[in-house]
């Protein structure tokens, strides 16, 4: 059935760059996003570097005591610590900052704590802060808190792990978003990744100085927003992946709600903001569980949807466990931290990537081939830019602006100019290549031998620019090109089109021939041989076609006209001429060149036979099955003509020589054969075809590689069986099988 609407919905569109991103190529967007992410990450590193490295840490020792690392003393939790700096004085109990800076339920306490950290940070930044306290024995201590500038090397491992996690998460999310902007699940995944990056980076910065992080409140707010985005993204994904459960409106609602919560917490619009955040987290968790359960339940067991749901469930559970184990449990149990908070993020990232894996495995995001190229190109570009930036920064830090400027000039200007020069010479190279290819094409089409030789010589001259090209006497036996006389000569053997040649002194005598030249010569010879062969095949095809037309004209038209020449009856002569014209019509129609499928050939045969039989008043029973009509093996016009002739002959026989009033035809496909059973209910037994008819049909069947059987017991029946796939017949096969002359 020819159905013009039957185009796969996903066919040519799958994996194509999203039109939504507009005219700018997606690879460029990828680059922009990557560079933006790196810049933000860089900014985060700079921010972390601004935090002072203080030689003082306050950690819990048991329930009532606190260790002051730096002075190296253990004091009671109630001991008052007094910090004195040029900017001011600050006093508070040791125990109150021994705990993690994480927020508590008491909002007022949180605010005090954060303000204290900011003030402390400012004081410590001056570098002249003095700490005074009374130890357990009541002795006064004075300790100058060293605050060194933070250097690159002093950034702790947990900074790096959280920082890298942020970069990777951000890049992963943006990459997926660039590729499938329109896809729901990939958008949610991108949201989750950005959320993770947003949550991870502030904690990386804050983790460096637990005691005195400036602007901790805003870092915490960013962390909260990130977490909310992550949660919203996960919920959003679960509403529609692996199976659509809810309309996108719900996910958007969820996102807006989460962001609202984050905003409220950040701006402290409602008093107990942290409780609100806690409630929001619990709410998200609950919704997630419900959705996960719903996905699990609605997916049939064993399907990809259920597998995806299980993977997401597993990864979500793991993430939650990590978060709870590392962050929340120590707070609740008031023990020291098992693992620094910042380490939690890489673990979460791994889990997050696990979700990505689950999602790609179930064909969430289908990539076109262009994605790999775009990513590789972008990756390379970003690497180059990153290297340049590192170079500049490195030299700046080491030796000051002058050298940095010098490095930048070298990197951008000098190398750029050199690159442009190289490109210029590359273009010339490419132009030469194009001319070489053009010459080879002309060569393969050239008929004249001298012309071929001249073109080949010119091609070699263009490719290698030798000082001299001469016929090669000594290398005539060689099959492949080789370099001789220590690189002074390159011997090119004879090919299908040309004689052996020897080239002397490559590149106008500037260098010797090397392995690269030899390989090039091998490629050129191979190219020449393959194009010459293609040309020969084409010529052969044309010759075969001519032969076929000549044969058809001779056998069919010539035979008929010969028959008509000596007819005495002019009506019969006219009939012969008509039939000869019919033959010519067939030959002409074959030349049209459209290949028909087997189904189409059978349909055409059916129509013709049915029309002729019905016109003769004979009933036709020929079931036209869809299965036969759908056969799409291509049939050569010669084979089609043979088949048509056979059927035509059978119909003619029935119309002219039998008194049948019904014809039954059955066409079936079995075991690689097409079987056609043609039967009529003729008057008497033995109504076999007359004259040449039987011989013709048998001959044609043989030409098709099949056979025909006649059965004259009840009416007349012919069974034609031809194989569906067969090797192309040689052009002479028909000739040999033909009886000599009409």
Partner 1 sequence: MPARHVLIVEDLPDTLAWLAAVAREITGAEPATAASLGAARAWVARRPAGPLLALVDIGLPDGSGLSLVAELARDPAATAVVTTIFDDDETLIAAFAAGAHGYLLKSAGRADVEARLRALDAGEVAISPSMARRLLQRLRQPPAAASALTPREREVLSMIGRGLTLGEAGVVLGISSQTVATHVKTIYRKLNIASRAEAALEARHLGLA
The binding site for partner 1 (CB under 8 A) comprises: 1-4, 574-575, 577-578, 581-582, 584-585, 588-589, 592, 596, 599-600, 602-608, 610-611, 614, 624, 626, 629
Nearer to partner 1 among residue 52 and residue 599 (C-beta): 599
Write phi, then psi, for 73 (nearest 5 degrees).
-130, 150
Cβ neighbours for 367, distance < 8 A, ≥ 6 positions apart: 15, 179
Nearer to partner 1 among residue 100 and residue 579 (C-beta): 579
Q: Indicate if the alpha-carbon torsion angle 687, 693, 697, 698 is positive or negative.
A: positive
Minimum Å distance from CB 592 to partner 1? 7
Distance CA(532)–CA(440), nearest Å, equals 9
Nearer to partner 1 among residue 253 and residue 582 (C-beta): 582
Tokens of 285: 């968790």
Under a CB-based contact definition with an 8 Å cutoff, are residues 521 and 481 in contact? yes
Strands 65-69 and 57-61: antiparallel
Minimum Å distance from CB 642 to partner 1? 18
Minimum Å distance from CB 515 to partner 1? 55
Minimum Å distance from CB 644 to partner 1? 12
Tokens of 66: 């606190």
Name the DSSP letter for residue 180.
Answer: T
Nearer to partner 1 among residue 605 and residue 701 (C-beta): 605
Nearer to partner 1 among residue 124 and residue 610 (C-beta): 610
Minimum Å distance from CB 624 to partner 1? 5
Minimum Å distance from CB 643 to partner 1? 13
Minimum Å distance from CB 612 to partner 1? 11
Minimum Å distance from CB 722 to partner 1? 18
Minimum Å distance from CB 451 to partner 1? 38
Distance CA(98)–CA(78), nearest Å, equals 11
The dihedral over CA atoms of 353, 357, 358, 364, expressed in degrees to the nearest 10, equals 110
Nearer to partner 1 among residue 611 and residue 692 (C-beta): 611
Minimum Å distance from CB 1 to partner 1? 5
Nearer to partner 1 among residue 147 and residue 644 (C-beta): 644
Residue 291: half-sphere exposure toward Cβ, Cα within 13 Å: 27
Residue 279: half-sphere exposure toward Cβ, Cα within 13 Å: 10
Concatenating the DSSP letter of every residue in 625-675 gives -HHHHT---EE-HHHHHHHHHHHHHHHHHHHHH---SEEEEEEEEETTEEE
Minimum Å distance from CB 654 to partner 1? 17
Distance CA(533)–CA(539), nearest Å, equals 10
Nearer to partner 1 among residue 437 and residue 629 (C-beta): 629
Under a CB-based contact definition with an 8 Å cutoff, are residues 722 and 673 in contact? yes
Name the DSSP letter for residue 56.
Answer: -
Minimum Å distance from CB 11 to partner 1? 17
Q: List, in sequence order, every beta strand (DSSP E) within 179-271.
A: none
Under a CB-based contact definition with an 8 Å cutoff, are residues 667 and 628 in contact? yes
The dihedral over CA atoms of 41, 44, 45, 47, expressed in degrees to the nearest 10, equals 160
Q: What angle do CA 607, 610, 615 make, to 5 degrees?
A: 120
- Gyration radius from the chain CA atoms: 43
Distance CA(678)–CA(602), nearest Å, equals 13
Write phi, then psi, for 407 (nearest 5 degrees).
-60, -40
Cβ neighbours for 580, distance < 8 A, ≥ 6 positions apart: 556, 557, 560, 561, 564
Name the DSSP letter for residue 511.
Answer: B
Tokens of 197: 């990056």
Minimum Å distance from CB 553 to partner 1? 15
Minimum Å distance from CB 581 to partner 1? 4
Q: What is the length of the chain? A: 742
Nearer to partner 1 among residue 6 and residue 300 (C-beta): 6
Q: Indicate if the alpha-carbon torsion angle 137, 143, 147, 152 is positive or negative.
A: negative
Distance CA(58)–CA(684), nearest Å, equals 117
Residue bearing tokens 């053009």: 438
Distance CA(710)–CA(726), nearest Å, equals 24
Name 647's bridge partners: none
Contacts for 235-239 with beta carbons within 8 Å, 24 or more apart? 235/284, 235/287, 235/288, 235/291, 236/187, 236/188, 236/191, 237/184, 237/185, 237/188, 237/189, 237/192, 237/312, 238/288, 238/291, 238/292, 238/295, 238/312, 239/291
Nearer to partner 1 among residue 463 and residue 605 (C-beta): 605
Q: Which of 323, 118, 286 is closest to 200 using CA atoms?
A: 323
Under a CB-based contact definition with an 8 Å cutoff, are residues 192 and 237 in contact? yes
Minimum Å distance from CB 622 to partner 1? 8
Nearer to partner 1 among residue 25 and residue 581 (C-beta): 581
Cβ neighbours for 409, distance < 8 A, ≥ 6 positions apart: none
Minimum Å distance from CB 648 to partner 1? 14
Region class of 675: left (phi > 0), else alpha (psi between -120 and 50), else beta: beta
Minimum Å distance from CB 582 to partner 1? 8
Minimum Å distance from CB 611 to partner 1? 6
């Amino acid at each position: 059935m020819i159905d013009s609407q039957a185009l796969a919905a996903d066919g040519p569109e799958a994996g194509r760059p999203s039109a939504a991103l507009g005219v700018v190529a997606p690879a460029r967007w990828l680059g922009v996003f990557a560079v933006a992410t790196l810049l933000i990450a860089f900014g985060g590193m700079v921010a972390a570097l601004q935090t002072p490295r203080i030689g003082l840490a306050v950690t819990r020792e048991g329930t009532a005591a606190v260790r002051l690392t730096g002075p190296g003393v253990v004091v009671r939790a109630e001991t008052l610590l007094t910090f004195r700096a040029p900017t001011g004085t600050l006093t508070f109990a040791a125990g109150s900052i021994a705990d993690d800076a994480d927020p508590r339920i008491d909002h007022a306490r949180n605010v005090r704590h954060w303000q204290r950290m900011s003030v402390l940070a400012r004081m410590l930044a001056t570098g002249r802060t003095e700490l005074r306290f009374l130890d357990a024995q009541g002795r006064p201590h004075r300790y100058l808190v060293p605050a060194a500038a933070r250097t690159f090397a002093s950034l702790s491992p947990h900074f790096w792990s959280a920082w890298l996690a942020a970069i990777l998460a951000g890049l992963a999310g943006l990459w997926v978003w660039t590729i499938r902007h329109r896809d729901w699940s990939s958008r949610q995944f991108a949201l989750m990744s950005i959320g993770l990056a947003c949550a991870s980076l502030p904690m990386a910065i804050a983790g460096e100085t637990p005691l005195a992080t400036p602007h901790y409140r805003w870092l915490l707010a960013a962390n909260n927003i990130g977490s909310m985005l992550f949660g919203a993204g996960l919920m959003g994904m679960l509403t529609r992946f692996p199976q659509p459960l809810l309309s996108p409106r719900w996910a958007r609602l969820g996102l807006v709600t989460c962001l609202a919560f984050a905003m409220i917490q950040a701006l402290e619009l409602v008093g107990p903001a942290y409780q609100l955040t806690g409630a929001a987290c619990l709410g998200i968790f609950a919704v997630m569980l419900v959705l996960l359960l719903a996905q699990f339940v609605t997916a049939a067991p064993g399907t990809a949807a259920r597998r995806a749901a299980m993977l997401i469930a597993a990864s979500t559970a793991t993430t939650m466990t990590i978060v709870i184990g590392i962050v929340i449990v120590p707070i609740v149990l008031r023990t020291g931290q098992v693992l620094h908070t910042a380490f939690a993020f890489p673990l979460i990232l791994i889990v997050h990537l696990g979700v990505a894996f689950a999602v790609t495995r179930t064909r969430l995001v289908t990539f076109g081939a262009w994605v790999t190229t775009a990513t590789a190109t972008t990756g390379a570009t970003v690497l180059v830019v990153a290297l340049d930036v590192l170079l500049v920064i490195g030299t700046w830090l080491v030796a000051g602006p002058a050298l940095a400027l010098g490095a930048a000039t070298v990197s951008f200007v000098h190398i750029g100019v050199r690159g442009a020069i190289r490109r210029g010479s590359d273009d010339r190279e490419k132009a030469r290549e194009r001319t070489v290819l053009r010459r080879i094409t002309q060569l393969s089409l050239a008929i004249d031998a001298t012309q071929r030789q001249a073109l080949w010589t010119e091609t070699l001259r263009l490719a290698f620019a030798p000082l001299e090209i001469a016929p090669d006497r000594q290398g005539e036996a060689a099959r492949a090109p080789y370099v001789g006389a220590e690189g002074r000569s390159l011997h090119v053997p004879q090919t299908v089109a040309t004689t052996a040649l020897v080239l002397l002194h490559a590149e106008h005598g500037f260098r010797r021939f090397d392995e690269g030249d030899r390989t090039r010569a091998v490629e050129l010879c191979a190219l020449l041989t393959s194009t010459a062969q293609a040309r020969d095949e084409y010529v052969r095809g044309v010759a075969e076609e001519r032969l076929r037309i000549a044969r058809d004209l001779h056998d069919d038209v010539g035979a008929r006209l010969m028959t008509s020449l000596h007819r005495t009856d002019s009506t019969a002569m006219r009939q012969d001429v008509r039939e000869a014209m019919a033959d010519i019509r067939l030959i002409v129609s074959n030349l049209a060149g459209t290949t028909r499928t087997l189904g189409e050939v059978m349909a055409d045969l059916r129509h013709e036979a049915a029309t002729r039989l019905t016109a003769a008043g004979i009933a036709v029973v020929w079931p036209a099955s869809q299965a036969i009509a759908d056969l799409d093996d291509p049939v050569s016009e010669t084979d089609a003509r043979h088949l048509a002739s056979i059927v035509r002959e059978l119909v003619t026989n029935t119309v002219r020589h039998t008194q049948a009033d019904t014809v039954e035809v059955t066409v079936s496909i079995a075991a690689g054969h097409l079987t056609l059973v043609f039967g009529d209910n003729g008057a008497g037994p033995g109504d076999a075809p007359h004259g040449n008819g039987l011989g013709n049909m048998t001959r044609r069947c043989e030409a098709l590689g099949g056979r025909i059987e006649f059965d004259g017991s009840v009416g007349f029946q012919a069974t034609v069986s031809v194989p569906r796939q067969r090797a192309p017949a040689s052009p002479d096969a028909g000739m040999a099988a033909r009886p000599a002359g009409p």
